[in-house]
Amino acid sequence: MKIVHETAAAKGQVILRSSYFSWPAMIGLIAFVSITGIVGETLAVDASVTAAFAQDAQEQGRSAAARSESRNGDKIFAASCAGCHGLDGRGGERAPSIAEGPRVQRLSDDQIFRIVENGIPGTGMPPFHSLEDSDIRAVVGYLRTLRGTKKTITLPGDPNRGKILFFGKAECSHCHMAAGEGGFIASDLSGYARTHSIDETRSAITDPNPNGDRLAQAATVTTRDGKTRVGRIRNEDNFSLQLQSLDGAFHFFAKADIKDVKYNSRSLMPSNYGSTLNADELNDLISYLITAANSSESGTPREVLEEEE
């Protein structure tokens, strides 16, 4: 039989040129070409499967490393950051939310890294030069995981009744602000329920003793000329002290002019809410604080993270 055209076997560049073959030779050649194609396809499948397993192993390795880094970041965050920003990163009395808010979310990982490492001059955010680069990267990674940790909470009571209590019978608004309304001598409770559980909120209402937190205690400042002021200390450094008295006025003292500063072991907040409010009223009040926190969640009232040019 005469072959008058060219062909390639399984991309192997086996070229058959014009020549004469007997039928047995032709059959043998066809079998060779077929077997070569089958072997090539088998090798290709094996290579594809091997590559898939390798890629899957790499992905699992990266996932395990990410989980390990996240756990490490969790520990470092709890030790170094949660005291001001809250365990869930959504802010507290001393610092704003760093887990949400448009300005925070626009920051790149490198920008957050530099903020943690160098702090923000002129604000309460200190530098953390003591942390290794790997530790800071772990914290940055953990911050990213905090963005999806919000859970739906079943309200224990009626928030509308709780609002009436907050601004009425319980007299919380005489000292505290919530959702932009109320007093200012005590902490703003607008976002309190974002960083505290229902049980923690109930405990803070019924047992408000500050547990050693001097910023939550009343203080009496006595000057060298015998004058006294009572209120909450808002700022203090090595040379000066700032106190807000119960009428809302701010008073500045040089440390050299102060004779004595005494902290009251009891909170300014009444300690008898556990008896003056029944269980349903407490649940209503807690529910109002939760809804107030949810309604204020879209804004970040005290942003200290500055966008880098």
pLDDT tens, N- to C-terminus, the chain (309 residues)? 444 444 444 444 444 444 444 545 555 544 444 545 544 554 444 555 455 545 555 555 544 454 455 568 888 988 888 888 887 787 777 788 887 665 676 677 888 899 999 998 888 889 998 899 999 999 888 887 776 544 556 889 999 999 999 999 999 999 899 988 998 888 889 888 877 889 889 998 998 875 556 666 789 999 999 999 998 888 888 999 999 888 888 999 999 999 999 988 777 788 899 999 999 999 999 999 999 887 755 443 333 343 333
How far the first Cα of the chain sits from its last, in Å, is 79
CA-CA-CA-CA torsion for 289, 295, 297, 302, nearest 10 degrees? -80
* Other beta carbons less than 10 A from residue 239's beta carbon: 8
- Domain at 159-295, CATH from 2.30.30.100, 3.40.720.10, 3.40.1260.10, 3.40.50.970: 2.30.30.100
Region(s) of the chain under CATH 1.10.760.10: 80-148
Phi and psi at residue 86, to the nearest 5°: 85, 150
CATH 2.30.30.100 residue spans of the chain: 159-295
pTM given for the model = 0.47
CB 219 within 8 A of CB 236: no
Q: Tell me which residue has tokens 């902290």.
A: 263
Of 172, 3, 140, nearest in space to 76 by CA? 140
CB 189 within 8 A of CB 176: yes
Q: Which sign, positive or negative, has the C-alpha torsion 88, 93, 95, 96?
A: positive
- CA contacts within 13 A on the Cβ side of 279: 2
- Beta-bridged to residue 19, according to DSSP, are 3
Domain 80-148 grouped into CATH 3.10.330.20:
no
